[in-house]
Amino acid sequence: MKRKVLLIYTGGTIGMEKDYDTGSLRAFDFSNIFEKMPEMNLIECEISVQPFKKPLDSSDMGPKEWKKIAKYIAKNYDSYDGFLILHGTDTMSYTASALSFMLKNLRKPVILTGSQLPIGDLRTDAKENLLTSLYYASLYENDEAVIQEVTIYFEYKLLRGNRTLKYSAEYFDAYQSPNYPILGQSGVHLNIEKDFLWRTRSDADFYMDDHISQEVLFWRIFPGMHLEHFAEIPKMKVLILQVFGSGTIFNTPKTQQTLQMLRDRGTEIVVVSQCVSGGISFGKYTNSNIFSKIGAISGYDMTAESAITKAMHVLENPNYTGSFADNFARNLCGEVTVS
């Protein structure tokens, strides 16, 4: 049986071609993708293309576009077996993370991919990324989708979307998932690590919750930083602090006063690490005790992208009961390792 895949084209380098006369990149009409890439006709699935009217550089993508994609998927959920989103690489991890929180009880594959070189470039990585993503998006066994979560496929690796970060602007191998194993690898065979795949624990049906608040701020601390400046930002509902190592910060009276002042003002403080691998462990060093004292929330081993979009989704979400802290601490869809 031929599986049906909805391909949503949002923009990014993947949909560009090089003008060899001028040397510059220009977007091509994506509805002609089957002519540009006749290989797509050979794949054992039926593909429908839904392009954004105006292709976007992914630095222009945000909550509005995340909601738009989530709505496309929700609207077409019953009519398609899988969803493939072509996206610029710069903010793909943010979109993948946001979608993972918005698409509840997903039982079909949602794959994001893009490329470092345009599809029309001789040395492009776009074709392999696109073709193999289509395979993963239409992979079923015993009438059940093998992948039932939001993933990124890039340069032979299938990764959990909300565990990824873009770490290279140069190499084809642009994404990492430092705190969660690779879900699948494409070599001679398309390999899947079934033990690592996410399965929703709920019996409930799929639905979309596209709540996103923008009252979230992210700050990376650095030696010598004046934390007191935070007092000048009045409307901060959530502050995500990216701190040192396993959760340390300069242990001064001013740090204590400022963070306590923020908490007294009602600001939720989430702590994530500047280290790409590993995570937060409150209480390991004296210089992390302040966080437990003021009731800060540990982001454990979440990526910054995931912590930010999770906070945006959970904050003042009318569909969640309980406190922000309790909801943030829960493992919603495999974004955090909680023991």
Q: Which residues bind ligand ASP (CB under 6 A)?
A: 11-13, 57-58, 88-90, 114, 116
Closer Cβ to ligand ASP, 121 or 209, answer by number: 121
Contact 5, 134 (CB under 8 A): yes
Closer Cβ to ligand ASP, 57 or 121, answer by number: 57
What tokens does 126 get? 């776009």
**Number of residue whose CB is nearest ligand ASP:** 88
What is the DSSP code string of 212-227? ----EEEEE--TT--G
What is the DSSP code string of 15-62? GEEE-TTT--EEE--GGGHHHH-GGGGGSSEEEEEEE-SS---GGG--
CB of 106 to ligand ASP, least distance (A): 24
Q: Is 91 a catalytic residue?
A: no
- Which distant-in-sequence residues (6+ apart) come within 8 Å of 228 by Cβ? 254, 258
State which amino acid sits at residue 218.
Answer: F
| DSSP label at residue 244 | B
CB of 52 to ligand ASP, least distance (A): 12
CB of 166 to ligand ASP, least distance (A): 9
Q: Which of 102, 187, 99, 219 is nearest to 150 (CA)?
A: 99
| Residue 50 bridge partners (DSSP) | 8
Closer Cβ to ligand ASP, 129 or 148, answer by number: 129
CB of 228 to ligand ASP, least distance (A): 36
Closer Cβ to ligand ASP, 52 or 324, answer by number: 52
Q: At what angle do helices 92-102 and 63-76 cross, to 10 degrees?
A: 50
Closer Cβ to ligand ASP, 175 or 230, answer by number: 175
Contact 251, 217 (CB under 8 A): no
Please pick, among 13, 113, 248, 267, the residue that the annotation labels catalytic. 13
CB of 226 to ligand ASP, least distance (A): 33
The C-alpha R_g of the chain, in whole angstroms, comes to: 21
Q: Which residue has the tokens 């993933």?
A: 151
| Residue 144 bridge partners (DSSP) | 141
Measured CA to CA, the distance from residue 35 to residue 26 in angstroms comes to: 17
CB of 41 to ligand ASP, least distance (A): 25
Closer Cβ to ligand ASP, 65 or 81, answer by number: 65
- What amino acid positions are annotated as catalytic residues? 13
